[in-house]
Structure 1
Amino acid sequence: MTPRTTPRTHPHSRTARRTACAAALLLAVTTLPTSAAAATATATTGHIEGQLPSGATYMMDMPAAWNGTVLLFSHGYNQAGSPNPAQDAPDDATKALLLEKGYALIGSSYATTGWAVTDAVPDQLATLDVFTDRFGTARRTIAWGRSYGGLVTTAIAERHPERIDGSLSTCGLVHGGIANWNNTLDPVFALKTLLAPDSGIPLTGLPDQAAATSAANALTAEVDSAQSSAAGRARIALAAALHNIPVWNQPTQTRPAADDWDAQQANQYDAVKGLLKIAAFNRRQEAEVRAGGNMAWNTGVDYAALLGQSSVRKEVTELYKKAGLSLRADLATLNRAPRIGADPDAVDWMSRTSSFTGKLTKPQLSVHTIGDALVPVQTESALRRAVTAAGSTPLLRQAYVDNAGHCTFSPAEQLAALHTLEDRLTTGRWHGTDPESLNSRAAAADSSTPARYVTYRPTPYLRPYDLAHPADGQ
């Protein structure tokens, strides 16, 4: 196995930071806009790009009239080997609105791609140092991020709260790394055990990306074949339920009726294939390399109990009935199947770098769409579990958007969340976190895009793990 990655030490002295910043600013350039929205932004702002000593690039956009707030944006996961540009906003339209309202925007690329938390956190803080040395100390600093960037943002909030005033996670992996990889293991374990028990498809310990791709393709072929039979469709739905994959998970899908089990399963089938292609093998392999081994396990897991807590258990029950298949027998098969154990050193690395205590000292607002298949909305239940155990509940608020897909927020919805967090920072108390108030803020921020906040309570996250509950380990 590849040795674990050792986190870089962030320079703490002011002299060290200034030296690094001086070197970084040698690469400041102005870039051309990439869209109409970006053209509007660059017309009214100063745009700066540069490179940090780590090799990461950074990006900054200053409005013509700065309101004193800097937004430190952490971008999502970039596949190993893919382009890795710096980003300081989630999308061009939101960026244009933020600059129009006077926010300074900053963000880095992170020095590496993949599960790069040990690069991302210091690179983001170093970018903030560059900004401070160039423009002065901000009146207010807010860390925010989307998807994997929500994990980076939460890591900054927990481990470096003195650097920020508050944090905003959108569609974030706020459940942490161990929980993520455990819950990603369960659906593929079910698919292999029930659809291809003699296939020899490896689920962990993948030596390289080629092996990961081969395993993903092999299991995808089994899923495609199973989709042609009622029994196969029921088993795919069971696997989906173990990841809490919602029955409406892409904006392009028709939202199925509450009792249209076939349409619900068809939508999940697409999401299951996406999970196999995106996270279950290739991203897992890259994360295993960083961790120095397999950081996930299903030893001791009762799959009947997991299904009993799943948000879509009723659909699974009905599809098994329709197929004339015994759900009890399949759950027993899963519970008898040989289990996968984790490498303790890899668990330790992932726990130390990518799991959370739940201890907040600054306000955090976490926002999620309810139809997210890649990072299910139940991650918010895992976050609340940790925060509650740590006694930090007064500092956390969560809000939910009625839309399908991963990170499919409108610019209006994102600005509403930001303004709600700012209000908390200004007044010292939360108010206006209810859907009606959030939608009103969204309409005021940008009436041209949707405002879809709703009252919602996610079901439990099926494989929670956090540092507030150390007994949940192996």
Structure 2
Amino acid sequence: MRKIASAFLALLLATLLGTAANPNPGYARVISAGHVEGVLPDGSAYVMDVPTNWNGTVLLYSHGYVPDGASNPARNAPSEAVRTALLDAGYAQIGSAYPETGWVVEGAMPAQLGTLNEFQARFGVARRTIAWGTSMGGMITTGFAERHGRFFDGTIAMCGLEQGSVANWNNALDTLFAIRTLLAPGSTAPLVRLPDQATAIASAAELTAALDVAQTSPQGRARIALAAALRNTPAWTNPAQPEPDANDHDTAQRNQFGALRQFLQTGLTWRQEAEAHASGNMSWNTGVDYARMLANSAIRKQVEAHYRQSGLSLRDDLAALAAAPRITADPAAVAYMIRNISFTGGLTTPMMSIHTTGDPQVPVQTEQAYAEAVTDAGRSRLLRQAYVHRAGHCTFTAGEMLAAVRTLEHRISTGQWPDTGPLTLNRLAEEWDPAATHDYVTYSPGPYPRPFHLHR
């Protein structure tokens, strides 16, 4: 692994120093021989763990979204179980808290690279450097794979927003737009250009109340299913509950209702945080054909069954969506989200991604969006994707995550991908974590509802 170029570091440190926010920036405290905690010049706390039997590999972990006001400690692993297993196996692990909370992709990437530089200054250049992350951290990791691959031997994106920022916020708008149009006709609850958290909370409360009322009638449940289909919200959303049978549309709809209810609690408040970073509205639905979007949805048949049962006309509701006043974006805010961060598919280092099939927060179809981008960019040889048959967001076992590490290491060592089929991955997961049940499966996600590819 090459050391980070001095010219890039000079620019990076200038950026960090220019945004210093910590009263005691730039300090490091050695807690024990291999455990270091510190603060970068931009105020980002970081943590490093290096075992006495270090094998020469360091993993840079990027964590997921932290809402404004929430606790935000530095993290260097997806879980304590994973951190302990990797330390026992000789891996060094590092990571930062990022300089602030909310949609902080712009500051997160320099902070993470700054953490890697601090590690190199203290412990030397690693034999092998791997970036990995979960949720928004998976998206950040994909950004490293496309934009800063020269600093990494490989990357692992787990449950990531692989559709990129613009597509993410666009598709979130689609669901909000359908809920307001079909369940709260006449509502003026703002969906974009939210000036403050109070406005976002009030809008979410109004739409949640409409959602709750709709759930009490067959007609309302059909419309909720339609809104869920535009986001590809899965039928199975909670790993603590059994997976519904393929034709159990009622249970599927109840699960989707719960997922949409949770989505409303965060979809608008997080959007307001993101709009504050972008200085405007970064999403639009002008020109969007919602009938076509439904036709490509993984749960289209469920929606059609609910409409038949309700007696409503699906065609009429799709016409209502088509006729409703559309929302335009602010070009500068879109440009901000392209920078922070949307994808070309132009991988510059090997990447493995893993995703649960029943993810209600970041639907699994995001992986298809990224696979299309990578294929169009001619970089498919650098990407492998694998799927775990489980509900929930980032609900991997420790063994499933560690199996991805082993698989990527084989690719780095040999220049060739090993078998990434479910039997092999489950065997690797069991070797790491024999007490858990692992469930990699053969799976091919459907199309993402509204992809946004920079190369097109």
> TM range, normalised to the smaller chain?
over 0.9
- Tell me the CA shift for residue 375 of structure 1: 0.3
Q: Deviation per CA, 1:375-398, whole angstroms, max 9, x where unpaired?
A: 000000110111111111110000
User: Residue in 2 aligned with 1:139?
Assistant: 127
User: Residue in 1 aligned with 2:228?
Assistant: 240
- Tell me the CA shift for residue 158 of structure 1: 1.1
Are 1:242 and 1:310, in contact at CA under 8 Å, matched by a contact in 2?
A: yes
- Tell me the CA shift for residue 238 of structure 1: 0.4
Q: Distance in 2 between matches of 1:415 and 1:449?
A: 13
Which of 288, 310, 318 is the equivalent residue of 1:301? Answer: 288
Q: Distance in 2 between matches of 1:446 and 1:194?
A: 47
Aligned alpha-carbon RMSD (Å): 1.7
What is the TM-score when the length of structure 1 is the normalising length? 0.91
User: Could you say what secondary structure the match of 2:210 adopts?
Assistant: helix
User: Residue in 2 aligned with 1:341?
Assistant: 328
Q: Output aligned runs, 1:37-56, within 5 Å.
A: 46-56=34-44
Q: Distance in 2 between matches of 1:450 and 1:359?
A: 35
Q: Distance in 1 between matches of 2:28 and 2:341?
A: 31
Q: Distance in 2 between matches of 1:275 and 1:364?
A: 29
Q: Distance in 2 between matches of 1:28 and 1:264?
A: 51
What is the TM-score when the length of structure 2 is the normalising length? 0.95
User: Residue in 1 aligned with 2:420?
Assistant: 433
Q: CA 1:190 to 1:435, structure 2 compared with 1: closer, same or farther past 3 Å? A: same
Residues 1:67 and 2:17 are matched in the alignment: no
Q: Output aligned runs, 1:99-118, within 5 Å.
A: 99-118=87-106
Partner amino acid, structure 1, of 2:387: Y
Residues 1:150 and 2:157 are matched in the alignment: no
Q: CA 1:198 to 1:362, structure 2 compared with 1: closer, same or farther past 3 Å? A: same
Q: Deviation per CA, 1:394-431, whole angstroms, max 9, x where unpaired?
A: 10000000000000000000000110011000110112
Q: CA 1:322 to 1:69, structure 2 compared with 1: closer, same or farther past 3 Å? A: same
- Tell me the CA shift for residue 254 of structure 1: 2.7
Q: Which moved more, 1:196-205 or 1:225-234?
A: 196-205
Partner amino acid, structure 2, of 1:433: T
User: Residue in 2 aligned with 1:127?
Assistant: 115
Are 1:247 and 1:256, in contact at CA under 8 Å, matched by a contact in 2?
A: yes
Q: Distance in 2 between matches of 1:269 and 1:46?
A: 47
User: Residue in 2 aligned with 1:381?
Assistant: 368
Residues 1:26 and 2:23 are matched in the alignment: no
- Tell me the CA shift for residue 15 of structure 1: 12
Residues 1:315 and 2:302 are matched in the alignment: yes
Which of 228, 251, 262 is the equivalent residue of 1:263? Answer: 251
User: Residue in 1 aligned with 2:74?
Assistant: 86
Are 2:12 and 2:114, in contact at CA under 8 Å, matched by a contact in 1?
A: no
Partner amino acid, structure 2, of 1:364: M
- Tell me the CA shift for residue 11 of structure 1: 5.4
User: Could you say what secondary structure the match of 2:38 adopts?
Assistant: strand
Q: Distance in 2 between matches of 1:312 and 1:15?
A: 45
- Tell me the CA shift for residue 63 of structure 1: 0.9
- Tell me the CA shift for residue 73 of structure 1: 0.1
Number of corresponding residues? 443
Q: Distance in 2 between matches of 1:213 and 1:115?
A: 17
Unaligned runs of 5+ in 2: 1-6, 18-23
- Tell me the CA shift for residue 297 of structure 1: 0.4
Q: Distance in 1 between matches of 2:12 and 2:203?
A: 49
Are 1:165 and 1:425, in contact at CA under 8 Å, matched by a contact in 2?
A: yes
Are 1:247 and 1:265, in contact at CA under 8 Å, matched by a contact in 2?
A: yes
- Tell me the CA shift for residue 348 of structure 1: 1.1
Residues 1:170 and 2:158 are matched in the alignment: yes
Q: Distance in 2 between matches of 1:137 and 1:265?
A: 52
Q: Deviation per CA, 1:346-387, whole angstroms, max 9, x where unpaired?
A: 111111221011101210001000000100000001101111
Are 2:400 and 2:429, in contact at CA under 8 Å, matched by a contact in 1?
A: yes
Q: Deviation per CA, 1:24-63, whole angstroms, max 9, x where unpaired?
A: 6633153xxxxxxxxxxx9xx7221100000000001111
Partner amino acid, structure 1, of 2:27: L
Q: Output aligned runs, 1:10-21, within 5 Å.
A: 12-13=9-10
User: Could you say what secondary structure the match of 1:354 adopts?
Assistant: coil
User: Residue in 2 aligned with 1:455?
Assistant: 442
Partner amino acid, structure 1, of 2:397: S
Unaligned runs of 5+ in 1: 1-9, 31-41, 470-474
User: Residue in 1 aligned with 2:411?
Assistant: 424
Partner amino acid, structure 2, of 1:82: A
Q: Distance in 2 between matches of 1:93 and 1:75?
A: 15
Are 1:413 and 1:450, in contact at CA under 8 Å, matched by a contact in 2?
A: no
